[in-house]
Amino acid sequence: MENITLGQVAAAVAFLIALIGGWVQLKKWTTQAIKEILKDELKAIKEDITALRAEIKKEDKEKTKNFLVSRLADAERGQEWSDIERQRFYEQYDHYRNDLNGNTYIETAVEHLEQTGKIWR
């Protein structure tokens, strides 16, 4: 090697530091830009999922109510249920009251039919 001066070594080190620093800063800016883009996109997806969950819950509640009303009408007409039908009715009834927060005319009808002995747990 020929004569390498201290100034040349310092210049090479300074160049490497500037190169690495530039790369780090570029990476930082790129990461921030990607995070902002993803944040906006994920917010829209989150809103869509929230809306879908609400719609699914509404649909679940309506279908559960339809099932319960149908079974209560059968009991009111005197149709007897098998043990499995009774268990399934009460599973859906508990789901309606506890999970779906339903508390309407259905609860009144169930209490009436239980008191008259037409249905039981």
- Please report which residue ranges of 2-115 form alpha helices under DSSP H: 6-76, 83-94, 105-115
What's this model's pTM, rounded to 2 decimal places? Answer: 0.70
Contact 41, 84 (CB under 8 A): no
Contact 113, 73 (CB under 8 A): no
For residue 75, give the nearest of 117, 26, 45 by alpha carbon: 117
Whether residue 91 lies inside any domain: the answer is yes
Whether residue 1 lies inside any domain: the answer is no
In the prediction, which pLDDT does 1 show? 54
Interval 69-94: pLDDT, tens: 999 999 999 999 999 999 999 999 99
In the prediction, which pLDDT does 87 show? 97
Whether residue 30 lies inside any domain: the answer is yes
Whether residue 32 lies inside any domain: the answer is yes
Which ranges of the chain have pLDDT less than 50? none
Count of domains observed in the chain:
1
Which domain does 58 fall in, by range? Answer: 8-115
